[in-house]
Amino acid sequence: MTRPILYSFRRCPYAMRARLALASSGIGVDLREVVLRDKPEELRMASLKATVPVLVLPDRVIDESYDIMLWALGCADPEGWLERHNAALIAECDGDFKTALDQYKYGKEGVEDARESAARYLRRLDGILAGQPFLSGQKRGLTDMAIATFVRQYANVDRPWFDGENWPHLHNWLDYFLASPRFAAIMRKYPKWQSGDQAVEFPEPL
């Protein structure tokens, strides 16, 4: 049986969450680590968007990270992530929060306003986490894993400022995620893939 192919980039938050779901499901893929400034032709042929992640299956191509998560967990969900799934909270992360985050991280004007706009979402998350250890409830689930990589990206724009904000529950939640064996496993470094290279199996054993 042909293994699925995952085009990925280690530091991309979208690719991270796709890898998180694949690792949780246990579905094996051939990982192709790409450099975004030098994308392989195979990636461009697989997806018109040519942005990671892209999952190439025998019968179709999935090029949205959230859809890759849903596909992987729909095939196998041993940790029950789909049982703990707040689609509305994830949609807000992928929409208004990510728009503000990009302006905060990459913008040249209105950066402070963008930081504050994104912070309103994080305050809501902190409020949710005040009453439970995870966004998904008492156990981590899809909601946590679909959002955490973007909170990490926000925090890393100005980590001293982020750490100084009065979001104790969000800080604890993010620290737990960053220190987890699962996160460490999906952040292993791989060489840039080029046509003809030997396949890299993912996930590797914890």
Q: Where are the domains of the chain?
A: 5-80+185-202, 81-183
Q: What is the pLDDT of residue 1?
A: 60
Closest CA to 72 of 13, 121, 4, 162: 4
Say if residue 116's pLDDT is above 90: yes
- Residue 206 pLDDT > 90: no
**Integer Cα distance of 176 and 169 in angstroms:** 11
pLDDT at 205 exceeding the cut of 70: no
Q: Categorize the per-residue pLDDT at 149 as very low, low, confident or very high, splitting at 50, 70 and 90.
A: very high
* Helices 13-25 & 65-75 angle (0-180, nearest 10): 0
Q: Percent of the chain beyond pLDDT 90?
A: 93
pLDDT of 2: 83
Question: Stretch 49-61: mean pLDDT, rounded?
Answer: 95
The yes-or-no verdict on residue 64 having pLDDT over 70 is: yes
Q: How far apart (Å, rounded) are the C-alpha atoms in residues 79 and 77?
A: 6
Q: Is the pLDDT of residue 31 over 80?
A: yes
Q: List the one residue out of 160, 189, 157, 153 whose CA is nearest residue 174.
A: 153
Q: Which of the residue ranges 45-49, 78-82, 156-160 would you say has the lowest mean pLDDT?
A: 45-49
C-alpha Rg value of the chain to the nearest Å? 17
Residue 49 has pLDDT above 60, yes or no: yes
**Closest Cα to residue 158, out of 101, 120, 108, 110?**
101
* Domain 81-183, CATH number (from 3.40.710.10, 1.20.1050.10, 1.10.1040.10, 3.30.360.10): 1.20.1050.10
Q: Is the pLDDT of residue 17 over 90?
A: yes
Are 56 and 105 a contacting pair, CB within 8 Å?
Answer: no
Is 80 exceeded by the pLDDT of residue 168?
yes
**What does pLDDT average to over the chain?**
96
Distance CA 119, CA 193 (A): 36
Domain 5-80+185-202 CATH superfamily? Glutaredoxin (3.40.30.10)
Q: Judge if the upstream peptide bond of residue 40 is cis by omega within 30 degrees of 0.
A: no
Residue 123: its pLDDT value, please? 98
Q: What pLDDT does residue 36 have?
A: 87
Asked if the domains 5-80+185-202 and 81-183 are classified in one and the same CATH topology, the answer is no
The span from the CA of 33 to the CA of 194, in Å, is 9
The pLDDT value given to residue 204: 80
Residue length, the chain?
206
